[in-house]
Amino acid sequence: MSGAILFDNVSLKRGGREVLSGISLELTERRIGLIGNNGSGKSSLVRLLNGLLSPDTGRVNVHGLDVKDDVAELPRKVGFIFQNPDHQIIFPTVAEEVAFSLEQSGRTRREAAAEANAALARFDREAWAERPVHALSEGEKQLLCIIAVLVMEPAVLVLDEPFSSLDLPTRRRLERLIAGLPQQILMIAHEFDAYASYDRVIWLHEGCVQMDGQPDEVVGAYRAFAEASQ
């Protein structure tokens, strides 16, 4: 099945610790949330999807690609947005940052530059092209990261706590933007109201799936658990 993410009995150890134990999931929904305490394995789980980490046991398949056998093709298929935009942006100006993704996809420099401007225009941000990155606000930088990843036209977009450093209005704007995207979205966030319109939320606890289902139920259960463990 090409439109699904499959985890088949996946286990992973990092630094001697077992961070994922026997995870088996079939993700076909369009909007999926991933919640849980810090250290529960969420970040490790999503990093299996773009080849940053490799499972010790089991198999992971993303839209037809095996994460071990087809690892070189993963960056094109799986777009990844990290928590801190400053840790992701590698070029000094906006246009260069976007053009890099295109060059990685095989365009020549000239083609990439032209398409980068077109991409910025689609988001009403043509004016940003020559701007130095450090002149952008946190929210603008995060938007830049999203644009730079989307131009590679991935099938899946993974977001690892993308809203942490953003204020509420900026977050809402980005949430709305993300909600309108054609990609399959898998998002880790601590701002649970973002999951209101999602199809499925998975609660990961100490490397295992604690609960898996409708956003209201799972978030509610997690909230109760968090309160109780005070």
Partner 1 sequence: MISLYLAERTWLHGIPAGWKLIALALISLAMTPLDNLPIMVALNVATLALYASLGRAAMAQIALLRPMWPLFAILLALHWWNGDIRLGLIVSLRILAMMLLANAVTMTTRMDAMMDAIEPVLTPLGWIGLSPRAVALAVAMMIRFVPLLFALWEALNEAYRARTGKRGGWRLLSAFCIQTLRLSHHTAEALAARGGAPRGPRR
| Among 60, 133, 166, 187, interactor with partner 1 by CB under 8 A | 133
User: Alpha carbon of 164 to those of 137, 160, 161, 167, 223: distances in Å?
Assistant: 14, 10, 6, 9, 19
8-16, 146-154, 187-195, 202-210 -> range binding partner 1 (CB under 8 A):
146-154
Cα–Cα distance measured from residue 48 to residue 136, given in angstroms and rounded to the nearest whole number? 31
**Tokens 């730079």 appear where?**
148
Q: Is the Cβ–Cβ distance between 186 and 30 less than 8 Å?
A: no
Choice between 37 and 93, CB closer to partner 1 = 93
Residues 19-78 that bind partner 1 (CB under 8 A): 50-52, 75-76
Structure tokens given for 141: 């930088």
19-27, 81-89, 184-192, 221-229 -> range binding partner 1 (CB under 8 A):
81-89
Q: What is the DSSP letter of 127?
A: G
Structure tokens given for 20: 């994922």
Choice between 23 and 145, CB closer to partner 1 = 145
Structure tokens given for 166: 């953003």
26-34, 96-104, 200-208, 216-224 -> range binding partner 1 (CB under 8 A):
96-104
| Among 48, 65, 89, 159, interactor with partner 1 by CB under 8 A | 89
Question: Per-residue x/- marks for partner 1, 151-170, CB under 8 A?
Answer: -x------------------
Q: What angle do CA 119, 31, 20 make, to 5 degrees?
A: 110
Can you give the binding site for partner 1, defined by CB under 8 A? 50-52, 75-76, 80, 82, 84, 86-92, 96, 100-101, 103-104, 108-109, 132-134, 148-149, 152
